[in-house]
Structure 1
Amino acid sequence: MARYVVDVMPKPEILDPQGKAVLGALPRLGFAGVTDVRQGKRFELEIEGDATDEALAEVQKMAGTLLSNPVIEDFAVHVESQA
């Protein structure tokens, strides 16, 4: 079984209110020096069989059609491990 990871982040030009809220809270909690925060999503998918180029392409298709909104988000897919 292969595990694929999809990381989804807002595009740089898109406002990120959740990231800004975290950025504002960090100094109040005693954490200094953080200049920006962007919040995204991480999906881990386990696919039957070995990691193949075909399976990677299928996961990329999933990421582009369901796991992300391509209008406002970018995504990256990689193979994390193979059991």
Structure 2
Amino acid sequence: MPTIVVDVMPKAELLDPQGKAVAGALDRLGITDFASVRIGKRFELTVEGEVGDDTLATARRIADEILSNSVIEDVVGIEVVE
């Protein structure tokens, strides 16, 4: 069955305390290759049957209205994984 993957991230202009904590932990471990860390959410919507334009449009609506908080988050990706 195909799966629609939706990725949601905090808006770039907002503070990401979880990401900051992970970045601090990496620094304490001596890992300095990464300038920053941001933490988001991944949703997997399993589809019965074919994924057509209507199904993708519904997934986009769900992502915008239910899976993300548009005040503080952006939907950064929607893709179909077979």
TM-score by length of 2: 0.92
| Per-residue CA distance 1:10-62 (angstroms, 9 max, x = gap) | 11111100000000000212312211111000011101110111100111111
Question: What is the SS of the residue equivalent to 1:54?
Answer: helix
Matches within 5 A, 1:26-45: 26-45=26-45
Matches within 5 A, 1:3-82: 3-75=3-75, 76-81=77-82
Unaligned runs of 5+ in 2: none
Once the two structures are aligned, what percentage of the paired residues are identical?
56
Quick one: which amino acid aligns to residue 80 of structure 1? V
Tell me the number of residue pairs that the alignment of Structure 1 and Structure 2 aligns. 81
2: CA distance, partners of 1:32 / 1:59: 38
Taking only aligned residues, the RMSD between alpha carbons, in angstroms, comes to 1.0
TM-score by length of 1: 0.91
Unaligned runs of 5+ in 1: none
